[in-house]
Amino acid sequence: MNSEEVSRQDAGRDIKLEEIMHPAVSVTPDVSEREALGILLENRLPGVPVVDKEGLLIGFVSDGHLLASALPEYFKVMADVSFVSEAGDQWVDYLSESAGKPVGEVMSKQVSQVELGTSEVVAAHKMVHDGVSSVVVTEGGKVVGIVTRLDLYAAIIALESD
């Protein structure tokens, strides 16, 4: 344990990921984009882990992946994207068409993850280094939760107000 960790523990200011993480929520690769989006909205998460039948982490699908899935088809028909905001109805059509695709087709196989028990500083560094807004928390390869940047900010603010 380094001096920073000792002084934080002595001050009672240790943030434990398991205390601030969202409970494990995951999908399988065959879940539709529409279903995945519903899960993101219901749980107020920027993304969700994708797991295999044994519950092992195999990917991650974010709101950005879902949006990007609809955009290529939409932009194929647009010669000049400067009028995109005026073509809202067509956008909804393309978004609806892509919503039936399985998330296995759009998920990232590169997953930002940390093992349960990892410090919040390591989790924050991982998010910054990987350019993501959340990390999947695993234990023995299985998903146990998700920590977002906002979770970390809220925990830090709570410590400061104590």
Measured distance CA(127)–CA(146) in Å, rounded? 12
Segments of 7-155 assigned E as strands: 22-23, 47-51, 57-62, 113-115, 134-139, 142-148
Band of the pLDDT at 2, cuts 50, 70, 90? very low
**CATH code of domain 3-161:** 3.10.580.10
For residues 66 and 26, the model is more confident at 26
Proportion of the chain above pLDDT 90, given as a percent: 57
Band of the pLDDT at 86, cuts 50, 70, 90? low
Q: What is the mean pLDDT of the chain?
A: 82
Band of the pLDDT at 159, cuts 50, 70, 90? confident
pLDDT in tens, 29-77: 999 999 999 999 999 999 999 999 999 999 999 998 988 887 765 555 5
Q: Inform me whether the pLDDT recorded for 5 exceeds 50.
A: no
Tokens standing for residue 8:
């934080």
CA distances 152 to 22, 63, 64, 141, Å, are 11, 20, 21, 23
Per the CB < 8 A criterion, the answer to whether 135 and 17 are in contact is no
For residues 88 and 36, the model is more confident at 36
For residues 151 and 79, the model is more confident at 151
CA distances 161 to 5, 15, 128, Å, are 20, 14, 25
Band of the pLDDT at 126, cuts 50, 70, 90? very high
Q: Coil, strand or helix: which one is 32?
A: strand
Proportion of the chain above pLDDT 70, given as a percent: 75
The model's pTM: 0.76
Q: State the DSSP code for 56.
A: B
Q: Inform me whether the pLDDT recorded for 1 exceeds 50.
A: no
For residues 136 and 75, the model is more confident at 136
